[in-house]
Amino acid sequence: MKLTLFFAILAISTTFAAKPNVMVIIADDLGYHDLGFQGSKEIPTPHLDKLASNSLRCTNGYVSHSFCSPTRAGIMTGRYQHRFGHENNPAWLPESATAGLPLAETTFPSLMKQAGYTTGAIGKWHLGAHPQFHPNKRGFDEYFGALGGGHQYFPGDKGGAEYTIPLNRNGTDEAQTKYLTEQFGDEAAAFVGRHASDGKPWMLYLAFNAPHTPLQAPKEWLEKFAHIQPEQRRTYAAMVAAMDAAIGGVMAKLDETKQTENTLIFFVSDNGGPNLSARLGVNFTDNSPLRGAKGDLHEGGMRVPFLVSWPAKIKPGTYEQPVIALDFLPTSLAAAESAAPGNLDGVNLLPYLTGEKTTAPHDTLFWRTGGPGGTNAVRRGNMKLVRAGKAAPELYDLASDIGETQNIAAEKPQVVAELVAAIAEWEKGTIAPLFESPKGGKPKKKAK
C-alpha cells in the first residue's frame, strides 16, 4: 500500500514538473518605442532586452482595448470584454457591485487552478473595488498590490483616495514601504522563490502601474537621465528604467532557482503611450512609428511591445502574424495540457509560435470604444479599417503603411464593405457597457 502511494505521488509530481510555470507581465501606458528592443536609444532597458533576446517578439502584437481596465478584463477572461460589458474603466466605488469584472466570467487564474497551478497576482488590479471583485475571490491564491486604477509611487504621498489607499495583501491592508515599482518587483521575486520547490507549477500575474502617471521616480534614477529634456520625459524615462530593473530582479530569481527554462512568460503594455500634451504641455511617451495614442483605435492605441518566452519549447526570433493578449489564456491552458472553455476569443498560439502551423492564428481582430455606435476598428490580414461613429470609414494597408498615413478606402470599396459587415456581425455578440469611466483629474507630478 505504501509503495503504491509512493508511486502515485511520484506520478503526480512528474506531471506537475512537466507543466511550465506561467508569468504574465504588464506595463501600464508604455510608449511603443520606449524600450531598447523596440528601438529606443534614449531609455536603456537591458533586462527586458535580454528577455526579448530569449523570446519570440511579436511585431504585430495587440491588446484588446486602447485603455486600461478593459484590456485587463480581456486578459483575465480570454474574451473580448465587449461581450460582457466591461468596455470602460470602473470608478473607485467599493460600494458598487456593478463596476468591475462580472462575476459570471470564468477567470484565467481559476482555470489555471483547475489545471493544478498555484496562482498569484501582484500589482495593479483595477477590475473592481467592491470586495466581491477582490483578486482572492477571482481565482488568485495570493495577492499583493493596489486594488484601484493607479497609486502614488512613494510612501506617504498625498493624492486622491484611489491613489493613496493602503496596499492590500490577501484582503488585509498593508503599508507601502518603498518606491512602488521596486516593491512590486521584490514581491514578485519572492513569489518565484517561495514556490520554486513546491512540486507543482505556478501562475503569476505581475501588473506594474509604471510608467502610468503620476510622474514620480527615485532620485538615483533621475540622475541617470539628467541629460533628457523636458523634465516630464526625464521622469518617465526613469520610471521605465526602474520597471526594467524590477523585472530584472524577477528574472534573476528565476535563474537562481533554475526555473527559467520551463517558465512561459508573456510581456505587454496594457495600451499605447498616452498623449498628454493637452494636459501637461508635453507628450512624454514615444509611440513611433505608429499613429495615435492611448484611447485611440489607430495603431498607437493598442499595438504594443509583445513578447512570448518559453526557452524549453519556443525558439527566439520574431513573429509577424497578428496576435492579441486574449491569446494568453488559451495558450497557457494548452501549455498546462488543460482544455480551454469553448467560448474564448483568444487562441492557443503554441502551434503557430513553434512553426507547427504556418497560417495566421486569427482571421480577423476587432476593437471598439464608446459602446455600440462608438469607434470601431478591425484588422483582417494587412487591411485595417477604422470607423469613428457615423464618420466615413478609413482603410489602411499596414504592410506598407504602419503609420496609417494613407487612407485607401476610396480605392478599395469592396474591402471596406467586407470589413464593415464583419464589424456588424461581431457586434451581434457584444453588449453595451455596464458602467461608465470616471472623469479623470490632472495627475500630480513629483520626483524624489
Q: How many Cβ atoms are within 10 Å of 21's Cβ, its own excluded? A: 24
Catalytic residue among 47, 65, 82, 126: 126
Catalytic residue among 33, 58, 65, 68: 68
Residues 182, 167: Cα–Cα separation, whole Å: 14
DSSP string, 181-241: HHHHHHHHHHHHHHTTTSSS-EEEEEE--TTSSS----HHHHHHTTT-SSHHHHHHHHHHH
Task: Kindly state the cell numbers that stand for 33.
Answer: 518605442
- Sorted by sequence, the CB contacts under 8 Å of residue 11 that are 6+ apart come out as none
58 flagged as catalytic? no
Are the CB atoms for 187 and 120 separated by under 8 Å? no
Specify the 3-state DSSP secondary structure of 4: helix
Are the CB atoms for 189 and 253 separated by under 8 Å? yes
126 flagged as catalytic? yes
DSSP string, 238-276: HHHHHHHHHHHHHHHHHHHTT-STTEEEEEEESSPPP--
Measured at the CA of 244, the angle between CA 243 and CA 245, to 5 degrees, comes to: 90
438-442 contacts, C-beta under 8 A, 24 or more apart: 438/89, 438/91, 438/92, 441/160, 442/279
- Sorted by sequence, the CB contacts under 8 Å of residue 235 that are 6+ apart come out as 215, 216, 217, 222, 284, 445, 447
DSSP string, 110-171: HHHHHTT-EEEEEEE--SBSSGGG-GGGTT-SEEEEE-SS---SSTT----HHHHSPEEETT
Catalytic residues: 68, 126
